[in-house]
Structure 1
Amino acid sequence: MIKAIVTGHSKGLGAALAADLLERGAQVLGIARASGQSAEGPSAGLTELSLDLADSAALAFWLAGDTLRDWLADAATVLLINNAGTVQPVGPLAVQDPAEVGRAVAVNVAAPLMLAAAVVQAMPAGAACRIVHVSSGAGRNAYPGWSVYCATKAALDLHASAAAQDDNANLRIVSLAPGVIDTDMQGQIRATPIAHFPLRQRFDALKQSGELAAPPRVARQLLDFMLSKDFGRDPVADLRQLKAVRK
């Protein structure tokens, strides 16, 4: 049985990932501040945890209990997709709210790293574990106004690179840049004053030209890759540069 944990499952790419996983017959644990349930009611196979991933103490408290271990007890394959993230704060250091910086580090870095360690420790003996950190090209290139976002995504890349060297034959981990997706985050970027993010016009143009990828298509490609033989060969990857995956 495949059991998958998806953070930020209530909207955007996370919602598309959860829906695709359910269609594939996986059991899904969604972690987000808000529910991802549709108007039709609860989705069979979906368990939801309402938790603000910016609250590291609350996440640590939940992970210290038995809930995660119990939920994973009958899994043959465990998938963890660290999808939740925030682009805020945007702007030069002179305008960044220090509290918002702390929140970004908690959501973008602390939560994925905490969940990765907890899942590996909680999964059944002999189960296969595959972890995706949803990273960004911003973790591999510096952009003005995105010092926090770039730094936190770069942290995920290096974490995956180091964890991939662990002596664990059952673990595969990849920090994966999925490309530019038509989500609420893109709306936030387009609403940012150019003085805070000089490259905003580039993202305006992507929206106007219809070049933003649809979440369901990206979710399908990401999961095809995650379940393929090629997954984990390179711990840092870009979904747009991958050749057709081999299942």
Structure 2
Amino acid sequence: MVAQHLFILTGASRGMGRAMAGQLLQAGHTLITLARSPLPLPPQPLATHLHWPHDLTAPEAAAGQLLAWLQACRASDYASATLINNAAMIPPIAPLCATAWPDIAATLRLGLEAPMVLTSAFLQGTAHWTQPKKVLNISSGLGRRGMASQAPYCAAKAGLDNFSQALALEEALKPHGARVCSLAPGVIDTAMQAQLRSADADNFPDAHRFGHLHSNGLLTSAEDAATQVLAWLARPDFGTPVLADVRQP
């Protein structure tokens, strides 16, 4: 049996996540996708796709399933293992004082807690593997600069960046530690972008900027963004630097 490359991808049911899932499902790959919605992908010869339906605003069940699955695997069946934490959400666009508390909690759980819990499960389950391991966290420019009426999302992405830096330091101490990167994927034409540009300008002072990006054709398609992100994942220097942006050389 030829060893497969294992990929675990969250937020795979729409947008860039769905595009990445389609591009990752190819010969020689085992792909595990996690999302609340079903993800029917066309079968590919010599590829394996497992879809686990989970609500990652409560990530413990998904992490438990991932850990159990990895512990039941034979490490020799895989040439590499990669976790891509892509799932995220923005709450209804409003100043923090007008944002419902459950929306704040859900944004932080999905955007920060779930990546941390799933990464813990991934690293526990592959602790004895000597094959290359990678953790790719999908960040955002809003994790590196604040924006009014986006406090929960900005906080989740900023936390994801700093979590990635701390994790990289930990993994560097191990003989076969994972390489870690928190990658900003650029400005992508997704439902999230539509939500931002259609927001009430009284609640969201930057609405006009997102409208400008769309009307001037400055948004990257989900397919092109997925291609850029996966190309970054394949770079021999992946993880250097830990905080990166696809628009960097």
Q: Structures share a fold, TM > 0.5?
A: yes
Aligned residues: 239
Task: Supply the AA of the counterpart residue of 1:7.
Answer: T
CA contact (8 A) 1:179 1:240 kept: yes
Question: Aligned pair 1:192/2:199, yes or no?
Answer: yes
Aligned to 2:82: 79
Question: Aligned pair 1:148/2:152, yes or no?
Answer: yes
1:71–1:31 distance in 2 versus 1, CA, 3 Å = farther
Aligned to 1:136: 140
Report which stretch shifted further, 84-93 or 203-212: 84-93
CA contact (8 A) 1:68 1:122 kept: yes
Question: Aligned pair 1:231/2:238, yes or no?
Answer: yes
Task: Supply the AA of the counterpart residue of 1:8.
Answer: G
Report which stretch shifted further, 96-105 or 86-95: 86-95
CA contact (8 A) 1:89 1:104 kept: no
Question: Aligned pair 1:67/2:41, yes or no?
Answer: no
Q: How far, CA to CA, are the matches of 2:233 and 2:60 in structure 1?
A: 30
Question: Aligned pair 1:178/2:185, yes or no?
Answer: yes
| Offset of residue 145 of structure 1 | 0.6
Q: Following superposition of structure 1 onto structure 2, how do residues 44-63 of structure 1 map, counting pairs within 5 Å?
A: 44-63=47-66
Q: How far, CA to CA, are the matches of 1:90 and 1:173 in structure 2?
A: 31
Gaps of at least 5 residues in structure 2 are none
CA contact (8 A) 1:5 1:80 kept: yes
Gaps of at least 5 residues in structure 1 are none
CA contact (8 A) 1:17 1:216 kept: yes
Question: Aligned pair 1:112/2:119, yes or no?
Answer: no
| Offset of residue 191 of structure 1 | 2.7
TM-score computed with the length of structure 1 as normaliser: 0.90
Q: How far, CA to CA, are the matches of 1:60 and 1:226 in structure 2?
A: 22
Task: Supply the AA of the counterpart residue of 1:159.
Answer: F
CA contact (8 A) 2:63 2:118 kept: no
Deviations 1:19-56 (A, max 9, x none): 11113632110000001215xx5565211000000123
Question: Aligned pair 1:208/2:215, yes or no?
Answer: yes
Report which stretch shifted further, 6-15 or 161-170: 161-170
CA contact (8 A) 1:89 1:101 kept: no
Deviations 1:118-169 (A, max 9, x none): 1111125212111111000000001111111111100010011111111124
CA contact (8 A) 2:59 2:118 kept: no
Task: Supply the AA of the counterpart residue of 2:10.
Answer: T
Query: Secondary structure of the equivalent of 1:165?
Result: helix
| Offset of residue 228 of structure 1 | 1.5
Report which stretch shifted further, 15-24 or 147-156: 15-24
| Offset of residue 89 of structure 1 | 4.0
State the identity %. 34
CA contact (8 A) 2:63 2:121 kept: no
Match of 2:168 among 164, 173, 176: 164
Q: How far, CA to CA, are the matches of 1:202 and 1:75 in structure 2?
A: 45
1:46–1:177 distance in 2 versus 1, CA, 3 Å = same
| Offset of residue 109 of structure 1 | 0.4
